[in-house]
Amino acid sequence: MAYKLLFVCLGNICRSPSAENIMNHLIEEAGLDSKIVCDSAGTSSYHIGSPPDRRMSAAAAKRRIKLKGRARQLQLADFKEFDLILAMDNQNYWDILALDRQQQYLDKVHLICDFASRYKVQEVPDPYYGGKEGFDYVIDLLLDACAGLLEYVINSDAELVRQ
> Could you please report the per-residue DSSP string of 40-99?
EEESSSTTTTPPPPHHHHHHHHTTT--------B--TTHHHH-SEEEESSHHHHHHHHHH
Active site annotation includes 9: yes
Give CA separation, 109 vs 8, 41, 99, 154, in Å.
10, 13, 12, 18
Active site annotation includes 15: yes
Residue 97 to residue 24: CA distance in whole angstroms? 25
Residue among 14, 15, 89, 144 flagged as catalytic: 15
Active site annotation includes 126: yes
Listed residue (77, 76, 74, 101) closest to 87, CA to CA: 74
Residue among 39, 53, 78, 126 flagged as catalytic: 126
Question: Which sequence positions are flagged as catalytic?
Answer: 9, 15, 126
